[in-house]
Structure 1
């Protein structure tokens, strides 16, 4: 039994709709890989929610953003900028490594 072109198109629309619905429900589709100063994998975060502050399990020195959203990285655990410190903007599909003198990143928010 062959599938007609109209059924194939309908199936494509359903898949696209499901994907867009997932985005609309507040998830940054993709993964975030984090590493420590020894370049060891600390954690991989999959499809994080776009709202709120997210903490890393440990301080990290390298973040690779493989999500569909940009990130803001913070040196504090509560997504705030300490006096004299600064956050780091990390675009989608990019990676960044903190300078050794700057310490580690401890949290992030998702730009949406």
Structure 2
């Protein structure tokens, strides 16, 4: 029976590895977006890949994840000519200044 135990151990290791690698594609925690005092969206464990679009423009973003964010005033995570993105660190909150306009999307900053 040693071979069946070895096979079971190997299967367990493979499954653990798959579970751990799947978690690396997500930011652990929440991104909370508000427009004024009104809650617009709460994203739990969002994917760290790609652009995330808010359903509407937001004035406040709380980054309660374990990864840093980049906030954009465009819906497609691009920086408009003459503009810039806003860096939001782990565990930080930020609100729009009137000169930039509302935030419409975010992506995760490269680590």
Compute the TM-score of the two structures, normalised by the length of structure 2: 0.77
Map 1:1-112; keep pairs closer than 5 Å.
20-24=20-24, 26-36=25-35, 38-111=36-109, 112=111
Compute the TM-score of the two structures, normalised by the length of structure 1: 0.76
Stretches of structure 2 that go unaligned for 5 or more consecutive residues are: 1-16
Secondary structure of the structure 1 residue equivalent to 2:99: helix
Runs of 4+ with >3 A deviation: 17-23
- Tell me the distance in 2 between the aligned counterparts of 1:21 and 1:94: 26
Stretches of structure 1 that go unaligned for 5 or more consecutive residues are: 1-16
Larger Rg: 2
Matched pairs, number? 95
TM-superposed CA distance for 1:22, in Å, is 4.8
CA gap of 1:69–1:105, structure 2 versus 1, over 3 A, is same
